[in-house]
Amino acid sequence: MAVRVIGLGQRAAGDDGVGLCVLDALAANPPNGAELHQVADPARLVELLQGAERVVLVDAAVGAGPAGGVLALGLSELAEAPLSPVSTHGISVRQALELARVLAGGALPEVLLLAVAIEPPTAHGTELSGPVAAAVPVAAAKVRELLAK
């Protein structure tokens, strides 16, 4: 069974692209045996969850605390987390996970969300803000820690 790290986001949407930047940091020295996937649309999660044993999702999150904070959540915690339901991706990560659960007959692999806190998006561009850019190596190290458990 596969172990997958999935970075979500849009590079042209500033801090929303932090999940992809974390995957860039991991690509230089990939976690042992993990597949790395960059995803712009959470609807693709349905496909990527199939056949996986463990999945770490890395995404920007409004409402996860001060910009640049890193928060790890399991599926049960995600349902209760005070994260914004607004998504720049079309459907939210929560909605994509629920769709995957229904299509899989109720069974999902072990899923962890690594949320990097951002401010509500106001501008486009490929640069991350200072606090969010500083969180990239912290989040990459946290992914490695989660996969080592």
Choice between 43 and 132, residue whose per-residue pLDDT is larger: 132
Q: What pLDDT is stored for residue 17 in this prediction?
A: 92
Segment 13-69, tens digit of pLDDT: 889 899 999 999 999 888 988 999 999 887 788 888 888 899 999 998 887 789 999
d(CA 15, CA 53): 29
Give the chain's domain count: 1
Four-residue CA torsion sign, 14, 16, 20, 26 = positive
| Closest C-alpha to 117, from 125, 129, 126 | 129
Structure tokens at 149: 């458990």
Q: Are 74 and 115 in contact (CB under 8 A)?
A: no
Segment 98-130, tens digit of pLDDT: 766 666 666 778 888 898 999 987 767 889 999
Q: Which domain does 37 fall in, by range?
A: 2-148
What's the CATH code of the domain at 138? 3.40.50.1450
Mean pLDDT, range 141-147, rounded to an integer = 95
pLDDT above 90 covers a percentage of the chain that reads: 38
